[in-house]
Amino acid sequence: MRATAPLLGLLLATAPLAAHVKHARNSQADQKIHRVEKLADNVYCIFGNGGNIGLVVTDQHAVLIDDQFDKLLPGLREAVKSVTDKPIKYLINTHHHGDHTGGNRGLEGQVVAILAHRNVRKHLLEAQKGKPADQQGGLPELTVGEEDPRVKARMDIHLGGVEMHLLHYQAGHTDGDIMVGIPGASVPVIHMGDLFFNGTIPYIDLKGGGNLTGMLENVEHVLGFVPDTAKIIPGHGPVATKKDLTRFRDFLKAVQAHVKAHPKMSGQELDAAFDHTAWADVKAIGDFLSYANFFEIAAGRVPARR
């Protein structure tokens, strides 16, 4: 299990974008925190401070999936250059939270277009209202799907002999989640964004349109088509296998069943009655994403701020 400190900026508030930006400003000064892991001949995962980043290299261009925080862009650029000198043509956002989109403004002049679900643009626009000009911009120019997150959507990118599938199934972590599949890589790869937290309890942004049932159904959908040999990039945690994703699915099902069986229990009561022994490998993170608070979220209640 990787260190959990980079996750704390995400997990300390239910108003994600503002929390992430604040966290970025307080990040360590040393920006050489990125680590690159090769997953296939032309696909990489970049770890740093915030959500996991995907990098796909084609014949003439590169595609970046998420970008963490603006203050970390020098280190991110250095990590990309350690793999390829090819220009980044597209930047894809898996959802709107600032630990996945904080670098958008710094990268928008470098890429041809930023791609995301329609609701990502909506959330970013709302968050930027009334802010100074230097805190605006970095909005997706190409959007997938409809404002109603129940409408399934898909966009395919064909670039330099590489095919990428942008998939929206339904609201889960937020109402604007997309997954990015690279099925034709030497090893099939899918970036699931924050629809998958590997090794920890997940954060579900209720105010951002997310819900436990939707997250679970997204995971079930992926398990229905992803091959056993695939490598899966979670939003947070180490690169995973289908077995790891199945374990995450089973955890979500156990939580869902527990909440349904005890509808009148508080988060603390649900926590006390839960079989933690069976899920000792699924860790809580900090005070906000304690098990008690996660059970509140699972029941559709926004936890009280501490």
Assigned domain for 306 exists: no
| Domain membership of residue 168 as a residue range | 5-298
The per-residue pLDDT for 40 is: 98
Assigned domain for 210 exists: yes
Assigned domain for 258 exists: yes
The answer to whether 156 and 163 have CB atoms below 8 angstroms apart is: yes
The per-residue pLDDT for 305 is: 64
- Contacts by residues 268-277 (CB-CB < 8 Å, ≥ 24 positions apart): 268/292, 270/295, 270/298, 270/299, 271/295
The per-residue pLDDT for 21 is: 37
Assigned domain for 25 exists: yes
Assigned domain for 303 exists: no
What's the CATH code of the domain at 200? Answer: 3.60.15.10
Assigned domain for 305 exists: no
- Total domains in the chain come to 1
Assigned domain for 143 exists: yes
CA neighbours within 13 Å on the CB side: how many for 165? 17
The span from the CA of 16 to the CA of 99, in Å, is: 9
Print pLDDT tens along the chain (306 aa). 333 434 444 443 333 433 333 444 444 444 579 999 999 999 999 999 999 999 999 999 999 999 999 999 999 999 999 999 999 999 999 999 999 999 999 999 999 999 999 999 999 999 999 999 988 999 999 999 999 999 999 999 999 999 999 999 999 999 999 999 999 999 999 999 999 999 999 999 999 999 999 999 999 999 999 999 999 999 999 999 999 999 999 999 999 999 999 999 999 999 999 999 999 999 998 877 899 999 999 999 998 765
Assigned domain for 206 exists: yes
Model confidence, pTM: 0.90
